[in-house]
A and B are shown apart, each in its own frame.
Chain A
Amino acid sequence: MKPARFCYHQPTTVDEAVALLGQLAPEDGRILAGGQSLVPTMAFRMAQPPHLIDINGIAELAGIEVDGDIVRIGACVRHTAFEVAGAVPGATGVWLRKVVRHIAHYPIRTRGTFCGSVANADPASEWCCAVTAIDGRIVARSASGVRRIAANQFFEGVMATTRRDDELVTSVELSLLPEGTRCGFAEFSRRPGDFAIAMAMASYRLVDGNRIAEARIAVGGAEPMPRRIAQAEAELNGKTPSTPVFAAVADAAAAAIDPMEDSNNTADYRRGLVRTMTLRALENAA
């Protein structure tokens, strides 16, 4: 549990970090953000990057910025930042705040970063699910320029993304959802704080009195990457909130997914959990 030897780099500007990454990525040089995923894998020697580029000292990356109806989350923003009411305005902030307390345990949340989670692309990452649900964009910068990658173009599979090795995720941009959007979240893990076996996020608005519109249903943890479930959203849009409607949406979500299997959880069990979590996320939103 001692990491293999590595060189440690401490840039203070994004330009410097991007230049270093451009130079060292071909030798498996990596970005060190909160270290909450990378460092344990190094301790196990499952990862042996010869270079670490620590971005924690880069002031430009430290903040959450609101720019019109976009919120921009810098690469050094820790999970705990979202526990503070109003850190992100409106319904989006409320939603993120519901989500954040399910991520790991408090000490880990004080170090781990939003963008680090997104770059890491664990299928059970709550932030990856949230970025997907809200149709966020990942801002990736390299020596050759900046790319803004839509969430549904970014996640590619278990811990796989379309980010190139020489690209630094400088921020993630989320749209601020319209006022009145109701948001819910639910996940299941065997112990609180563990990576979830399945999770669901649900949001919608009520229009014309009591009719559901702008439904968003995203499922995480169950498939290799999070995704919005169009069939479930279609089932929800235009309806009036009620237990039978929610149950039908949950059934649609469960039917639409192709769950992963592992030594503890069969595909059927995961599918059942997706049903339960979708239902609970809808109840949590109502």
Chain B
Amino acid sequence: MTETADRWIGASVTRLEDLPLVTGRGRFAGDIDFPHQLHMRIVRSPYAHGRLKSVDAAAALAMNGVAAVWTAKDIADLPPIEFREGPNENLSPYRQAVLAAEWVRYVGEPVAAVFAEDAYVAEDAAECVFVNIDELEPVLDAAAAPTELRPGLGTESTVCRQGYGNVDTAFRDAHTIVELDVSIGRHSAVPLETRGAIGRYDAARDVLELHGAAKVPHRNRESLARMLGRSTGGVHLYEGHVGGGFGVRGEIYPEDVLVLVAALRLGRPVKWLEDRREHMIAANQSRQQRHRIRAAIDGDGRLMAIDDDFFHDQGAYLRTHGARVVDTTCGILPGPYRLPHYRVAGHVRMTNKTPCATYRSPGRFESNFARERLMDAIADKLGLSRIEVRRRNLIAASEMPFERPLVALGDDVVYDSGRYEALLDKALAHIGWDALQRDVASRRAAGEYVGLGVAIYVEKSGLGPTDGARINIHTSGEIEVITGGASIGQGFETVVAQVCAEMLGSDYRQVRVVHGRTDRIEYGIGAHATRATVMTANAAAVAAKKVRDKALDMAAQLLQADAADLDIVGGCVVRTGMIGGPAISLGDIAHHLRPTSSTRGERDPGLSAEGWFSTSHMTYPYGVQIAVAKIDKGTGAVRIEKLLIAYDIGRAINPMLVEGQLVGGFAQGLGGSLLEEFRYDERGQPLSVTFADYLLPTAQDVPFVDILLTEDAPSGVNPLGIKGAGEGGIAAAGAVIASAVDDALGASGTISHLPIMPQQLKMMIDAFEATGAAAASSGSG
């Protein structure tokens, strides 16, 4: 740990955020209380699909301590929850109303809201709200022929189409065609802290406050202000500590709107905390896709074309993201490979399940799985090794920046930099691929079901367009950085502090980073899409440079020197290279820049500046994952024995935090690959509503994750050269685990679905053993 370095960028310093967290003084949504607050409890639909005939709240209203019970009628003036990216006429019929009015479309859909003196009474009263629903047949299979949810409202809300070239010709001319039908199960983020929202109206200031905000406070402020018909200046969002975001927390849900409206109309603060069961049916789910994907290959195993028709199980409504996950899937699917012709159609299908949206690595976990399954299948079909077929198709370093006529997250896809094959070679060398292959082969010969998997992928990060930061150095010497970013626990404060400290010759512990507060800075896009570090750190660097220039200019006057001869070391301005010479601290310089200071001269008051960073393109980190999987043939259980993530981050501000992101991400990816699934029965009743049926990986299930972090391809699209890490560990987890398990079975292409269930593996193995098919017969690699 280089806690005293004056080079902070690149140092694995400990996190600034940790002290309150590890001493139990964090402030999560549950810790926030206001005097006289009411507690909200949501009454949810018990049916997956039905006509809502009436809601009888008389008994609940008669209970002691119940302040109000609302149904859709009480908030008829509120519009449905809007899309963050703005109105979309075609998709707008699929938006979710804050409370269901005429129809219910998933189990868990809010039908009424109870407001009471405490959470116990609220729950007692909610049990006494009687909902009269005529149950209808649910739509549960997104890949079945489209139908109607109700007259005029089709289940295919939209189809995202992208592509280029002439796919049909390529398939006609192909040497080989490989076709797969692969699918990913429904799973999502299940953070330790469930959601929470506290609404408070401060009549004295005419400000409506939402506490418990996360991820995108500024953007949510705009949406909420529009929905509630208020000026953005009269709505403020406050982010506290966040016990896990992962894409799910911080979107606008019905409950967020309700606490605000109730705070306004009932004249009391309103607190809502989601319970775990609610989280499992109400928070955004994700991932469920089925790809019918095929590739046209030439005689050397080179991709000529990919044609993918996939079905995305969106659930009952389109939430804040609209159809974004599907669009990203389309834009990112080709990954690290050269692909002359491409056609993709992503069907956004509505079903009677909990609505879906983004979960860490949306569209990439899915598309990497589909594409890498395809690459393995191509290798097996042509008798090439799984490594060789990938090598032949990787985009070369000389082709960078590499432009593909595709769009992801509204950006044209241009891979800014990358040395994919070099990373593959490093990964193979690091894990000792040849020896590993021999070892696996001999274990298989001895009857073990063990296999090797590989996945190569391109990540995306640093979604623009713009972020700002304001730096103010106080007369105490403390450096305050006010950002429009958000911290979802990833170490945001630490990395922004490191960048500022480096530019300002100060200790990173002298830096206080403000985030997630709409009352401190006007704009901000927040923390999603692996963008926070890239965008905010670059903006902070711009602001820090301006502050530095101002400090040196002021100091030049005070030290009677030329600013060009000055440097900032240890928080003091000194003459470059002169040890023990005159020095003036940043705090003192701030003092000289007070509005009333006589030494300030014509300079604007304050040792402060604002910096902005804009980008028109995302930056694309990339990785290679290698896994060794073993199947217990007596039970079908899979154990990942070894796991390597080789990842090029461009430039790591804090390698320790990058590694933490990669390992944590992989753990979640392992969950979605082997354990986690939101399942529904034939009536659309959710079956995974507790931690006894939705299985999260524990420390005992997650292997040691070996990380090979490289900085071979700094980003060309931002001055710091950084790329993001937030989603790099999870993005290819499904792909690599499937590849390894498939190899362990020794029967190529058997793994076409995630999560991989022990029952299914045991059945396959029993069948192999019965027919005497030796697992050792097919080679790995």
CA distance A269 to B636 in the complex (A): 10
Contacts of A264 in B (CB 8 A): 757, 759
Contacts of B275 in A (CB 8 A): 1
Query: Of B127, B695, B762, which is within 8 A of A191 by CB?
Result: B695
- Chain A, residues 245-273, CB within 8 Å of chain B (1/0): the string is 00000000000000000011110110011
- The answer to whether A164 has its CB under 8 Å from any CB of chain B is no
The stretch that binds B, out of A27-35, A107-115, A150-158, A192-200, is A192-200
Contacts of A47 in B (CB 8 A): none
In the complex, which residue of chain A has the Cβ closest to the Cβ of B633?
Answer: A276
- The answer to whether B179 has its CB under 8 Å from any CB of chain A is no
Check B700–A191 contact: CB distance below 8 A: yes
Contacts of A263 in B (CB 8 A): 679, 681, 687
* B107–chain A nearest beta-carbon distance, Å: 15
Contacts of A146 in B (CB 8 A): none
Check A269–B763 contact: CB distance below 8 A: yes
- The answer to whether B766 has its CB under 8 Å from any CB of chain A is yes
Assuming the contacts A191-B695, A192-B698, A265-B759, asked whether A273 and B635 have C-beta atoms less than 8 A apart, the reply is yes
Contacts of A4 in B (CB 8 A): 124
CA distance A73 to B637 in the complex (A): 35
- The answer to whether B634 has its CB under 8 Å from any CB of chain A is yes
- The answer to whether A204 has its CB under 8 Å from any CB of chain B is no
CA distance A214 to B353 in the complex (A): 54
- The answer to whether B131 has its CB under 8 Å from any CB of chain A is no
Contacts of B127 in A (CB 8 A): 45
Within 8 A of B (CB), among A214-262: none
CA distance A269 to B635 in the complex (A): 9
* B399–chain A nearest beta-carbon distance, Å: 44
Query: Of B634, B675, B692, which is within 8 A of A276 by CB?
Result: B634
* A24–chain B nearest beta-carbon distance, Å: 21
Assuming the contacts A2-B119, A44-B277, A195-B692, asked whether A269 and B759 have C-beta atoms less than 8 A apart, the reply is yes
Contacts of B637 in A (CB 8 A): 188, 190
- The answer to whether B120 has its CB under 8 Å from any CB of chain A is yes
- The answer to whether B117 has its CB under 8 Å from any CB of chain A is no
- Chain B, residues 685-705, CB within 8 Å of chain A (1/0): the string is 001001010010110110000
Assuming the contacts A191-B695, A192-B698, asked whether A279 and B634 have C-beta atoms less than 8 A apart, the reply is yes
CA distance A191 to B124 in the complex (A): 35
Contacts of A2 in B (CB 8 A): 119-120, 123
Assuming the contacts A1-B276, A263-B681, A264-B759, asked whether A191 and B701 have C-beta atoms less than 8 A apart, the reply is yes
- Chain B, residues 347-381, CB within 8 Å of chain A (1/0): the string is 00000000000000000000000000000000000
Contacts of A192 in B (CB 8 A): 698, 700-701
- The answer to whether A280 has its CB under 8 Å from any CB of chain B is yes
Give the dominant DSSP class at B's interface. loop
Within 8 A of A (CB), among B243-300: 275-277
Check B679–A193 contact: CB distance below 8 A: no
Check A272–B675 contact: CB distance below 8 A: no
Query: Of A44, A191, A280, which is within 8 A of B634 by CB?
Result: A280
Assuming the contacts A190-B637, A194-B692, asked whether A272 and B766 have C-beta atoms less than 8 A apart, the reply is yes
Contacts of A266 in B (CB 8 A): 759
Contacts of A1 in B (CB 8 A): 123, 275-277
In the complex, which residue of chain B has the Cβ closest to the Cβ of A43?
Answer: B275
- The answer to whether B146 has its CB under 8 Å from any CB of chain A is no
Contacts of B766 in A (CB 8 A): 272
In the complex, which residue of chain A has the Cβ closest to the Cβ of B690?
Answer: A44
Contacts of A188 in B (CB 8 A): 635, 637
Query: Of B635, B675, B690, B698, which is within 8 A of A193 by CB?
Result: B698
In the complex, which residue of chain A has the Cβ closest to the Cβ of B757?
Answer: A264
Contacts of A45 in B (CB 8 A): 123, 127
Contacts of B605 in A (CB 8 A): none
* A88–chain B nearest beta-carbon distance, Å: 27
Assuming the contacts A190-B637, A272-B766, asked whether A5 and B681 have C-beta atoms less than 8 A apart, the reply is no
CA distance A44 to B277 in the complex (A): 8
In the complex, which residue of chain B has the Cβ closest to the Cβ of A105?
Answer: B698
Contacts of B759 in A (CB 8 A): 264-266, 269
Query: Of B681, B687, B695, B763, which is within 8 A of A194 by CB?
Result: B695
In the complex, which residue of chain A has the Cβ closest to the Cβ of B194?
Answer: A1
CA distance A44 to B766 in the complex (A): 39
CA distance A266 to B762 in the complex (A): 12
Within 8 A of A (CB), among B623-654: 634-637
* B699–chain A nearest beta-carbon distance, Å: 10
Check A269–B762 contact: CB distance below 8 A: yes
Contacts of A194 in B (CB 8 A): 692, 695
CA distance A269 to B761 in the complex (A): 10
- The answer to whether B758 has its CB under 8 Å from any CB of chain A is yes
Within 8 A of B (CB), among A165-220: 188, 190-195
* A279–chain B nearest beta-carbon distance, Å: 7
Check A191–B635 contact: CB distance below 8 A: no
CA distance A146 to B498 in the complex (A): 71
- Chain B, residues 570-585, CB within 8 Å of chain A (1/0): the string is 0000000000000000
Contacts of A190 in B (CB 8 A): 637, 675, 695, 758
* B765–chain A nearest beta-carbon distance, Å: 10
Contacts of A5 in B (CB 8 A): 120, 124
Contacts of A193 in B (CB 8 A): 698, 700
Contacts of B763 in A (CB 8 A): 268-269
CA distance A273 to B275 in the complex (A): 35
In the complex, which residue of chain B has the Cβ closest to the Cβ of A265?
Answer: B759
* A190–chain B nearest beta-carbon distance, Å: 6
Contacts of B276 in A (CB 8 A): 1
- Chain B, residues 645-681, CB within 8 Å of chain A (1/0): the string is 0000000000000000000000000000001000101
Check B635–A276 contact: CB distance below 8 A: yes
CA distance A115 to B80 in the complex (A): 53
CA distance A4 to B122 in the complex (A): 11
CA distance A44 to B759 in the complex (A): 29
* A122–chain B nearest beta-carbon distance, Å: 11
Contacts of B120 in A (CB 8 A): 2, 5
CA distance A135 to B690 in the complex (A): 34
* A268–chain B nearest beta-carbon distance, Å: 8
* B761–chain A nearest beta-carbon distance, Å: 10
CA distance A192 to B698 in the complex (A): 8
In the complex, which residue of chain B has the Cβ closest to the Cβ of A280?
Answer: B634
Check B692–A191 contact: CB distance below 8 A: no
CA distance A280 to B635 in the complex (A): 11
CA distance A194 to B695 in the complex (A): 9
CA distance A276 to B636 in the complex (A): 11
CA distance A63 to B566 in the complex (A): 76
CA distance A36 to B478 in the complex (A): 49
* B65–chain A nearest beta-carbon distance, Å: 12
CA distance A280 to B692 in the complex (A): 25
Within 8 A of B (CB), among A95-139: none
Within 8 A of A (CB), among B712-770: 757-759, 762-763, 766
Check A191–B277 contact: CB distance below 8 A: no
CA distance A222 to B691 in the complex (A): 21
Contacts of A273 in B (CB 8 A): 634-635
* B682–chain A nearest beta-carbon distance, Å: 11
Assuming the contacts A45-B127, A269-B763, A272-B766, asked whether A191 and B675 have C-beta atoms less than 8 A apart, the reply is yes
* B678–chain A nearest beta-carbon distance, Å: 12
Check B698–A191 contact: CB distance below 8 A: yes
CA distance A194 to B690 in the complex (A): 13
* A267–chain B nearest beta-carbon distance, Å: 11
A-B contact pairs, 25 of them (CB 8 A): A1-B277, A2-B119, A2-B120, A4-B124, A5-B120, A5-B124, A45-B127, A188-B637, A190-B695, A191-B675, A191-B695, A192-B700, A193-B698, A194-B692, A194-B695, A263-B679, A263-B681, A263-B687, A264-B759, A269-B759, A269-B762, A272-B762, A273-B634, A276-B634, A280-B634
Among all A-B residue pairs, the 7 with the closest Cβ atoms: A276-B634, A1-B275, A269-B759, A2-B120, A192-B700, A2-B123, A188-B635
Interface contacts beyond A2-B120, A269-B762, A273-B634: sample of 10 additional A-B pairs, CB < 8 Å, sorted by A:
A5-B124, A190-B675, A190-B758, A191-B701, A263-B679, A264-B759, A269-B763, A272-B762, A276-B634, A280-B634
